[in-house]
Amino acid sequence: MLGAVRITLRESGLRAVARSIFDHTLADCSIERAFMEKVKAPSGADQSARLLFGTHLIDFSSIKHIRVIAAGKAAKSMLDALLARLPSSTLDDVAGVLIAPDVDARQGFEVFRGGHPFPNEASFAGARAALAMLNNLPPDASAVNTLCLFLISGGASAMMELPLDPGITLDETIAFHRALVHSGASIMEINCVRKHFSAVKGGRFALAAKVATCFTILLSDVPPGSPETIASGPTLPDASTISECRQILKRYRLLEQFPASIRRFFTSDQMPETAKPGELTALTWTILSADDLAESARIKAESLGFVTVIDNSCDDWNYREAAEYLLQRLRQLRRSHKRVCLISAGEIIVRPKESENHGMAIVSGNGGRNQHFALYAVTLLEESDAPISILSAGSDGIDGHSDRAGAVVDSQTLRNGAGNFGQATDLRASAEKALREFHSSTFLEKVGATIVTGPTGNNLRDLRILLADG
């Protein structure tokens, strides 16, 4: 659930409007609301026994055992919402594993506080517990009487992890994940490598539960049309290959950055393939995605009188290119309309610089891609752009190495914030320095532009809102 919102920015005008659209969108796309509205009893059916999950009808009257694995940033919210919707007649034998950033004890469930952005001991322990549960279903378990429900959201790639090679340690696995995160590779490429490394990704969870009926409910934090990428696809077949995985390792010079044990694993002739299409039946339903974020924001902006356009074409672009493109698009729209809102959902990339040894430098600053985007965008604004406001924030309430969700800026941000840096400070030059040193959050905090929501219990990628009025 979305916690109490603490506003740290000195909001006025369009910045306050942009923030109000963002807050409305978070509330409108809550997981609890989605389960209540989208999980329905079919018309004329016995509501105590049958439920529609999207287009999937599940008849609970014949189900004797329910096993649930919930993993990811939104796992706790998804589990609570699911249990509230299950028919009471099915709750006699419900058990499972919850792996999330924030957990509390609950009857019948093993709970683990998994690490993010890198695995921790609980990530390993949770993965082992989940595999053990799937490998030890009740003796009478069958596809008719046993239902395995997987609640998967972004972040589970780190929070639920276990190397295929049991000789690889946690410290070595953390080094592996760190190198991937800072490689500059896309999320699709990173997850291809993760799938081939892990005992719980690339469909391997579903293979472990073959005796039961498996149904996966997804909360998408990846580009549209690629559900198998969410959390590296623990329950979905994987079309990528070992050959593709090794090409990615070569492209980003990753092998030389891995510990020796992991280099040996990826170069071994015994490296196993992931589960392929045809090996398992994947019943899946995506309950929420970034498209829901964008659509909710559009409806709200239009209700406030803005001509609104959704443009997600800069998804997976470098943050500088994305800012330049979206500002240019906004300026084009202003030529035809007075009040304009440009919405862009998805994620952008902040690529670390290459170090002297040709590896990727580790980012240790306190910013994130949303604050980087906002800070760079404000350096592109000119006096003639007033009034324009730009918001960029994560739906999970966390942006990179900071406790901020993102930031909201306008053409006056640098001018109005000058008093916090000293009269002789060139704020535009200071902003560029903050970008180079990955300290965008520190800079934006000083000029009163950061957004704090706290962890939202959701994870639907990022939302950028650009407003112009006049």
Please report, for residues 164, 232, 248, 267, 279, the alpha-carbon distance to residue 204 in angstroms, rounded to integers and kept in the order given: 10, 11, 21, 21, 10
Per-residue confidence (pLDDT) for residue 414, from 0 to 100: 84
DSSP one-letter string for 282-309: -EEEEEE-HHHHHHHHHHHHHHTT-EEE
122-146: per-residue pLDDT in tens? Answer: 999 999 999 999 999 999 999 999 9
The average confidence (pLDDT) of the chain is 90
Domains of the chain: 13-27+290-469 (3.40.1480.10), 34-288 (3.40.50.10180)
3-state class percentages of the chain: helix first, strand second, coil last, to nearest 5:
40, 20, 40
- Cβ atoms of residues 253 and 265 within 8 Å: no
Look at residue 239 and give its three-state secondary structure.
coil
Which residues does the chain have with pLDDT short of 70? 1-12, 44-48, 352-364, 417-425
Closest CA to 129 of 65, 205, 185: 205
Per-residue confidence (pLDDT) for residue 42, from 0 to 100: 84
Per-residue confidence (pLDDT) for residue 456, from 0 to 100: 93
Residue 393 Ramachandran class (φ > 0 left, ψ -120 to 50 alpha, else beta): beta
Per-residue confidence (pLDDT) for residue 362, from 0 to 100: 44
Per-residue confidence (pLDDT) for residue 5, from 0 to 100: 37
Per-residue confidence (pLDDT) for residue 224, from 0 to 100: 83
CA distance 189 to 198: 15
Q: What is the DSSP letter of 354?
A: B
Q: Any idea what the Cα angle at residue 70 is, between residues 68 and 74, rounded to 5°?
A: 150
Closest CA to 350 of 418, 402, 276: 402
Cis omega before residue 119 (within 30°)?
A: no
**Beta-strand pair 146-153/109-113:** unpaired
Look at residue 49 and give its three-state secondary structure.
coil
